[in-house]
């Protein structure tokens, strides 16, 4: 197994379109790194550059200490799982999985042993003689994963492997790939646009946007300490509420004033945000940090606000409320204990300690926590 | 009830039209078959008889004494198969390049290739004759294969190009990662997947040279004479008109292409459904 290092990686199409700009990623040995971001953010391009399917316009990629910029895909000792499975339709499942080994001239018993082992791991023994068209989507994806693991490559690359599966199967395969990672102890790079997949699977997550890396961190650090407004909005579901307002000083404490919502900040914020008094800032608060006052613990510091319920989305174990107060709309994630009705005015407790503040111009987080 | 009657009328109309169309297509074939088995005396009769009064298979026996058909047949087979093979090799390579590689002038080049198809063959007959004569390839197999391959490649390339483009790029990339080089990729992944198209294109090239008359007539004399020209030379002369033998021979020599079609039928059918099951 091996580490993958991307140094100042750049990809430019047709001398104009910059797909990836100055990407620096260090994937450690046996690490599961997820590249996540909206479509067109450059995550797939980055993965394909690691695979060797895309030429590198600038920078250096090394796998296991060896620079691979000019090494063809077959000599990089990687395996890749594609979004649309990319199984060879004219070959059986067995042949599909054995193909890479056969090309590398492995002895027949070795090939057989490895294919059987992979089939055991993935539970596809009874499918080995079938052609891909006789398989369901989930089975095809398993075969695609099997084709990768028989090779025992240094690095596994996954390009949105679950996005063609239905929701239930996706959750199941997600867990299976995580299990596989633990079992194989392999270095894996995984691309997805789904933040849930990223959060649940990755040891570390690389958030990308418009070809630029926004933040590289562990899932919970990303969630708790997003470096900018984009990461804050992208990670977490439902998304963080972002409310624009003015900061002013009021009796030694900071006051966030949106017009219809005024939030008096606890004293310690005065020092943290002192430079921004008199300026407009973006306040970010996650739906799960807005509570029903009745269900909240005594020792949590909250600010009470009142809002009108627009939409109620019961999820079973929790309820998403779409609310408005004045001009501002936001979402709260509350306990289903007191389910409000539409158009009802409700009191909510904002856990102000969990609030984030972002600069309006460069969208960077103002809290260096 | 009225709707049902209308539907019935429409069905019968469709059958009627279809039947007429098929009859028009089959009529010449019926004429060939019946003429080949009727005695010479009935052939020139006015008004002509559709079905012969008496049947004789003499023509099928006698024709072998009239000309060296074994030789013509071998010429046709050699030239047609060589044409199909060479045209396939070149057009597969060209079509793959057009389908997958980005190079300057690719679109223009493909357009030129397709446009060359729009030129009527007879318009380049004389210049081509001069070229072939200068090369010393008149009345040779090589000369004929060269000409037919030239005619077949543009269409084959164009058709295969479309088919190759429809094969998902991911498959090729998976194969590249699995350890293929470009050539292995072509014959281990692309060719098996494009089998229906390759069979269709190969058959096209084969039939093109098997049926061709004009160029064979002008460019061959005795050594490379193919069936279409051979038949004409043997049976239709200034003093002979052996229509019965001509038609008998025509029937016999249309058997190889028919056998080819039947043998490769499953690929044609597969070609029709390939798109439906993929993805």
B77/B128 same-domain check: yes
The residues pairing with A228 across neighbouring beta strands, listed in sequence order, are: A364
> Residues A313, A322: contact at Cβ < 8 Å?
yes
Average pLDDT over residues B159-187: 91
In this prediction, residue B67 has a pLDDT band, given cuts at 50, 70 and 90, of confident
Domain span at residue B36?
2-56
* A112-121 confidence digits (pLDDT tens): 999 999 999 8
In this prediction, residue B63 has a pLDDT band, given cuts at 50, 70 and 90, of confident
Q: Report whether pLDDT(B268) > 90.
A: no
Domain boundary among B40, B56, B72: B56
Joined together, the tokens standing for residue B60 give 């099928």
Write the burial class of residue A200 (CB in 10 Å: 0-12 exposed, 13-18 middle, 19+ buried). middle
B65/B154 same-domain check: yes
B16/B68 same-domain check: no
Domain boundary among B25, B56, B87: B56
Q: Report whether pLDDT(A369) > 70.
A: no
Most confidently modeled range among A130-139, A165-174, B125-134: B125-134
Look over chain B and give the mean of its residue pLDDT values, rounded to a whole number.
87
Q: Report whether pLDDT(B270) > 60.
A: yes
ipTM over 0.95: no
Q: What pLDDT is recorded for position A26?
A: 95
* A54-93 confidence digits (pLDDT tens): 999 999 999 999 999 999 999 999 999 998 889 999 899 9
CATH number, position B225: 1.10.3720.10
pTM for the complete prediction? 0.83
In this prediction, residue A368 has a pLDDT band, given cuts at 50, 70 and 90, of low
- A158's enclosing H/E stretch is strand A155-159
Query: Distance of CA B2 to CAs B8, B11, B208, Å?
Result: 10, 14, 50
B106/B195 same-domain check: yes
B211/B76 same-domain check: yes
Q: What pLDDT is recorded for position B272?
A: 52
Q: What pLDDT is recorded for position B278?
A: 37
Q: Report whether pLDDT(A19) > 90.
A: yes
In this prediction, residue A1 has a pLDDT band, given cuts at 50, 70 and 90, of low
**How many domains does one find in chain B?**
2
> Could you tell me what percent of chain B has a pLDDT over 90?
44
- Contact with chain A for residue B184, Cβ under 8 A: yes
The nearest CA of chain A is from the CA of B175 a distance in Å of 8
In this prediction, residue A264 has a pLDDT band, given cuts at 50, 70 and 90, of confident
- A282's enclosing H/E stretch is strand A280-285
Nearest to B193 among A52, A86, A90 (CB): A90
B136/B155 same-domain check: yes
Identify the CA nearest to A344 among candidates A314, A290, A306.
A306
- Best of A73, A131, A161 to disrupt the B interface (most B CBs within 10 Å) is A73
> Residues B53, B42: contact at Cβ < 8 Å?
yes
A237 vs B51: CA distance, rounded Å: 83
Average pLDDT over residues B137-152: 94
B202 vs A360: CA distance, rounded Å: 66
Joined together, the tokens standing for residue A53 give 């399917």
Q: Is A332 helix (H, G, I), strand (E, B) or coil?
A: strand
B190/B260 same-domain check: yes
Joined together, the tokens standing for residue A307 give 């809002």
Q: What pLDDT is recorded for position A303?
A: 86
Domain boundary among B17, B37, B56: B56
Spell out which residues of chain A touch residue B178, defining contact as CB-CB under 8 Å: 74, 99-100, 103, 147, 151
- Chain A, 127 to 156: residues with Cβ < 8 Å from chain B are 133, 147, 151
The residues pairing with A36 across neighbouring beta strands, listed in sequence order, are: A192, A207
Q: Report whether pLDDT(A276) > 50.
A: yes
In this prediction, residue B275 has a pLDDT band, given cuts at 50, 70 and 90, of very low
A169 vs A367: CA distance, rounded Å: 39
* B185-244 confidence digits (pLDDT tens): 998 999 998 888 999 899 999 999 999 999 999 999 888 899 999 888 888 776 777 888
* A284-340 confidence digits (pLDDT tens): 999 999 988 888 877 778 888 889 999 999 998 999 999 998 888 999 998 888 788
Compute how many other C-beta atoms are within 10 angstroms of the C-beta atom of residue A348.
22
B64/B50 same-domain check: no
- Chain B, 29 to 88: residues with Cβ < 8 Å from chain A are none
In this prediction, residue A352 has a pLDDT band, given cuts at 50, 70 and 90, of confident
B96/B204 same-domain check: yes
- Contact with chain A for residue B274, Cβ under 8 A: no
Of residues B278 and B246, the one with the higher pLDDT is: B246
Question: Across the interface, do B170 and A82 touch by the CB < 8 Å criterion?
Answer: yes
B201/B173 same-domain check: yes
The nearest CA of chain B is from the CA of A78 a distance in Å of 7
- Best of A44, A82, A98, A143 to disrupt the B interface (most B CBs within 10 Å) is A82
B154/B131 same-domain check: yes
Q: What pLDDT is recorded for position B1?
A: 59
Check residue B279 and report its DSSP letter.
Answer: -
- A·B CB contacts under 8 A: 59
Average pLDDT over residues A337-366: 89
Of residues B51 and A47, the one with the higher pLDDT is: A47
Q: What pLDDT is recorded for position A343?
A: 92
Compute how many other C-beta atoms are within 10 angstroms of the C-beta atom of residue A202.
25
B247/B112 same-domain check: yes
């Amino acid at each position: 197994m091996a580490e993958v290092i991307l140094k100042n990686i750049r990809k430019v199409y047709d001398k104009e379109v910059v797909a990836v700009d100055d990407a620096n990623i260090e994937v450690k040995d046996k690490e599961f790194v997820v590249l996540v971001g909206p479509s067109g953010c450059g995550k797939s391009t980055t993965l394909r550059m690691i695979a060797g399917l895309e030429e590198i316009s600038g920078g250096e990629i090394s796998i296991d200490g060896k620079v691979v910029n000019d090494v063809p895909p077959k000599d990089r000792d990687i395996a890749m799982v594609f979004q649309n499975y990319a199984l060879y339709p004219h070959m059986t499942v067995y042949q599909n999985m054995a193909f890479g080994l056969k090309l590398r001239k492995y002895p027949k018993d070795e090939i057989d042993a490895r294919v059987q082992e992979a089939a055991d791991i993935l539970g596809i023994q009874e499918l080995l003689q079938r052609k891909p068209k006789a398989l369901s989507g989930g089975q095809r994806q398993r075969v695609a994963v099997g084709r990768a693991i028989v090779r025992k490559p240094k690095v596994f690359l996954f390009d949105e492997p679950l996005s063609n599966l239905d929701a239930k199967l996706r959750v199941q395969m997600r867990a299976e790939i995580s299990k596989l990672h633990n079992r194989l102890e392999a270095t894996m790079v995984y691309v997805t646009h789904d933040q849930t997949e990223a959060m649940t699977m990755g040891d570390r997550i690389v958030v990308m946007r418009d070809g630029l890396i926004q933040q590289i961190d562990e899932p919970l650090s990303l969630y708790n300490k997003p470096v900018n407004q984009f990461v804050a909005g992208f990670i977490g579901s439902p998304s963080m509420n972002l409310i624009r307002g003015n900061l002013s000083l009021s009796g030694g404490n900071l006051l966030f004033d949106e017009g219809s919502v005024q939030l008096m900040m606890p004293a310690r914020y005065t020092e943290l945000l002192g430079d921004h008094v008199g300026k407009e800032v973006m306040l970010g608060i996650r739906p799960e940090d807005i509570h029903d006052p009745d269900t909240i613990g005594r020792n949590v510091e909250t600010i009470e606000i009142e809002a009108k319920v627009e939409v109620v989305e019961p999820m079973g174990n929790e309820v998403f409320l779409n609310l408005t107060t004045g001009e501002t709309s936001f979402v709260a994630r509350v306990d289903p204990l007191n389910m409000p009705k539409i158009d009802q005015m409700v009191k909510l407790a904002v856990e102000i300690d969990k609030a984030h503040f972002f600069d309006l111009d460069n969208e960077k987080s103002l809290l260096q926590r | 009830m009225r709707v049902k009657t209308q539907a019935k009328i429409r069905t019968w109309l469709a059958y009627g039209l279809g039947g007429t169309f098929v009859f028009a297509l089959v009529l010449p074939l019926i004429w060939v078959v019946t003429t080949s088995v009727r005695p010479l005396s009935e052939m020139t009769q006015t008004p002509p008889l559709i079905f012969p009064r008496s049947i004789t298979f003499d023509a099928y026996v006698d024709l072998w004494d009239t000309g060296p058909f074994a030789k013509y047949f071998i010429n046709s087979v050699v030239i047609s198969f060589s044409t199909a093979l060479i045209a396939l090799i070149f057009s597969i390579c060209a079509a793959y390049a057009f389908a997958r590689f980005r190079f300057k002038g690719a679109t223009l080049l493909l357009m030129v290739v397709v446009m060359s198809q729009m030129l009527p063959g007879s318009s380049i007959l004389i210049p081509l004759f001069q070229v072939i004569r200068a090369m010393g390839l008149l009345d040779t197999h090589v000369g004929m294969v060269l000409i037919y391959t030239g005619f077949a490649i543009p269409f084959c390339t164009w058709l295969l190009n479309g088919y190759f483009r429809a094969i998902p790029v991911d498959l090729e990339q998976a194969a590249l990662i699995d350890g293929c080089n470009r050539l292995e990729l072509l014959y281990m992944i692309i060719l098996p997947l494009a089998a229906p198209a390759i069979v269709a294109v190969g058959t096209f090239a084969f039939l093109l040279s098997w049926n061709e008359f004009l160029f064979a007539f002008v460019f061959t004399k005795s050594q490379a004479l193919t069936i279409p020209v051979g038949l004409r030379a043997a049976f239709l002369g200034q003093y002979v008109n052996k229509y019965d033998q001509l038609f008998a021979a025509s029937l016999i020599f249309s058997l190889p292409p028919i056998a080819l079609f039947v043998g490769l039928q499953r690929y044609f059918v597969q070609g029709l459904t390939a798109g439906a099951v993929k993805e």
